[in-house]
């Protein structure tokens, strides 16, 4: 994910599985984590997740994503709509993916 100036703000390593996208890694630029940085882009990780959901839909996976979350990222994934499964991974269901995309669209039109 790049900003309008072409600077890399967030990136992901993703694998296509039989009926979902598996997210191995999500990283945001360090200046998006540190407070009071002049080049900080708030929402880069959320924007990247939106693109991953759209890619999942384009591939016919109806928005399904799966990943393993580090403890410090669990709140972020919950905000997106992912839920922890009995196996310990996190999944975004097709229904949750649709809700997330609709919420993102509403935010853009505020």
The answer to whether position 3 is within a domain reads no
| Pair 33, 10: CB distance under 8 Å | no
The answer to whether position 99 is within a domain reads yes
Residue 30's CATH number: 3.40.630.30
- Higher-pLDDT residue of 100 and 109 is 100
Residue range 15-65, pLDDT digits in tens: 999 999 999 999 987 776 555 555 556 788 999 999 999 999 999 999 999
The answer to whether position 40 is within a domain reads yes
Q: How buried is residue 105: exposed, middle or buried, by Cβ count under 10 Å (0-12/13-18/19+)?
A: exposed
The answer to whether position 1 is within a domain reads no
Residue range 72-97, pLDDT digits in tens: 999 999 999 999 999 999 999 999 99
Q: What is the DSSP string of 50-105?
A: HHHHHHHHHTTSTT-EEE---GGGHHHHHHHT-EE-TTS-EEE-HHHHHHHHHHHH
């Amino acid at each position: 994910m790049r900003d309008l100036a072409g600077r890399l703000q967030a990136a992901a390593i993703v694998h296509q599985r039989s009926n979902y996208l598996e997210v191995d890694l999500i990283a945001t630029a360090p200046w998006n984590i540190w407070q009071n940085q002049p080049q900080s882009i708030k929402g880069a990780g959320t924007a990247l997740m939106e693109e991953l959901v759209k890619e999942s839909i384009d591939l016919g996976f109806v928005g399904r994503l799966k990943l393993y979350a580090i403890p410090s990222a669990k709140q972020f994934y919950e905000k997106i709509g992912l839920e922890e499964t009995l196996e310990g991974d996190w999944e975004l269901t097709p229904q949750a993916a649709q809700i997330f995309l609709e919420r993102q669209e509403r935010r853009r039109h505020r």
